[in-house]
Amino acid sequence: MHSISLPTYDVLVKHGALASVADIARSTTRAHRYAVITDTNVVRPHAERVVNELGSVGTRTFTVPPGESSKTRETWARVTDEMLEAGFGRDAAIIAVGGGVIGDLAGFVAATFMRGIKYVQVPTSLIAMIDASIGGKTGVDTPRGKNLVGAFHQPTAVLADPAVLSTLPPEHFRAGLGEAIKHGVIADAMYLERTVTDVPMLLDRSTRRPDATEALVARSIEIKAEIVRRDEREHGLRQVLNFGHTIGHAIEAASGYTLLHGECVAVGMVYEATMAVKMGVATPGTARDVKRAVERVGLPTALPPGATVDKLLALMRADKKVRSGALRFALPREIGAMASGDGTWSVPVEESVVRGVLAS
C-alpha cells in the first residue's frame, strides 16, 4: 500500500483498494448523496462495485458513452441536468469511476455544479491513475481543440486500485506506459530502468504482478505529485510534464485523434529528446535511451503517415501553450533531469531546428 500526500488530499494506491471506497468517501468527502459518474465500459463491474460498497441508498449512477467524444459541454450539460432532475443539491458529492475522460468530465461537473461540490477520483485506466487523476485539472473539449474549457478543481481523495487494470484493453495499458516513461525521463532514471525491465511482465496480464503494478503506479504518481505540489497552477515547473507533448499533441491532432494520446506522446518524446541532444541541451545518450524505452513498450517511435512537417508545425503554433515567437519545448538534460534556464522549464527552439529533427 502507498499513500501519497498532496496539500489538500491523499492518493491511496493499493491492490484491492476499491474495498475501501466507502470508508474513504465518508471520511474525506461527507455528503448527503453520491453521484457516481462512469462510462459504459467501466460501469460493469467497477462502478457497480463502487455503488455496492457505498450502499445504494442515495447513490445514483450516471453513465456516458466511452471515449473522448464524451468529453464535451453537451455531455457536461446532460449529466448536470440529470443530477438536478434526480434532486442532487449542494450537499452531494461526485465519485468519478473511469479513465481520464471520465475524470476530466466528472471533475468539471464537480467544479461547476452548485458553484462547486466535492469529488473523489477512482481512476480505472493506467493514464488516469498516473496522470489525469492527479493535479486538479478538469475540463472538456471544444470543436476548436482539446481541454479548452475547464477549471482547476482539486479532488478530496484519489483511490487507485491497480486490480481494475485487469480489464483494461492492452493498447490502453501500453499507452499508459508511455506516460510512465515520461515520468522516468523527467525525474527518476532508476524508475525508467526498472519499468523498461518489467515491461514484458507488466504487459502480459497472466504474468502481471500486483506488487510491481502497485509500485509502478505509486512511483509515477509520486513524481507527478511532487511537481504539482511545487506548481499547482502551471506557472513554471509544471511545464516539465509537457515533455513529449508539444510534438505529441500536434501528431494527435494531425491524426484526427485516431491515435491514442500515449502513442503520440511516445513519438513526441523520441523527437524532442533527439532535439535536446542536437542542441547540446541533453547528454549524448539521452535520445537513444528514450527511444529504447519506447521501443521496449511497443509504442511507435516514428511519425505516422500523413503527419507532414508543415502540418505539425502549423499545429504546434496553434497550440494554446505556444506563445508568439520561438517554439518552446520541455527538454531533458539527461535521463532523470529536465533542462531549466532563465527561471523557466521550457527551452526556445528555432523553427529550422524543429524542422530538421522532424524531417530526419
- 224 included as an active-site residue: yes
Nearer to ligand NAD, 164 or 273 (CB): 164
Range in contact with ligand NAD (rule: CB under 6 A) among 121-129, 188-196, 249-257, 278-286: 121-129
| Residue choice 75, 125, 213, 220 for contact with ligand NAD (CB under 6 A) | 125
The CA distance from 208 to 217, in Å, is 13
The CA distance from 192 to 176, in Å, is 14
The CA distance from 106 to 348, in Å, is 35
Catalytic: which of 146, 238, 252, 272? 238
Nearer to ligand NAD, 247 or 287 (CB): 247
What b-and-e string marks burial along 175-195, b requiring 16 or more CB atoms within 10 Å of the CB? bbbbbbbbbbbbbbeebbebb
Nearer to ligand NAD, 54 or 168 (CB): 168
Q: Which three cell numbers stand for residue 315?
A: 499545429
Range in contact with ligand NAD (rule: CB under 6 A) among 13-21, 122-130, 186-194, 337-345: 122-130
Write each residue from 64 to 103 as x if it is in contact with ligand NAD (CB under 6 A), else as -, in one continuous string. Answer: --xxx--x--------------------------xxxxx-
Please report, as residue ranges, which positions from 166 to 225 form the binding site for ligand NAD (by CB under 6 A). Answer: 167-168, 172
Q: What share of the chain is helix, strand, coil (3-state, %, to 5)?
A: 50, 20, 30
Q: Is 59 in the site for ligand NAD (CB under 6 A)?
A: no
Q: Which three cell numbers stand for residue 169?
A: 484493453
Alpha helices in 10-90 (DSSP H): 21-28, 48-54, 73-85
Catalytic: which of 53, 82, 234, 334? 234
Question: Considering the complex, what minimum distance in angstroms separates the CB of residue 95 from ligand NAD?
Answer: 15
The CA distance from 60 to 44, in Å, is 14
Nearest partner of 20 among 91, 93, 95, 92, judged by Cα = 95
Q: Is 238 in the site for ligand NAD (CB under 6 A)?
A: no
Q: Which three cell numbers stand for residue 24?
A: 474513504
Q: Is 142 in the site for ligand NAD (CB under 6 A)?
A: no
**Which parts of this chain interact with ligand NAD (CB under 6 A)?**
39, 41-42, 46, 66-68, 71, 98-102, 104, 124-125, 127-128, 131-132, 135, 137, 146-147, 164-165, 167-168, 172, 261
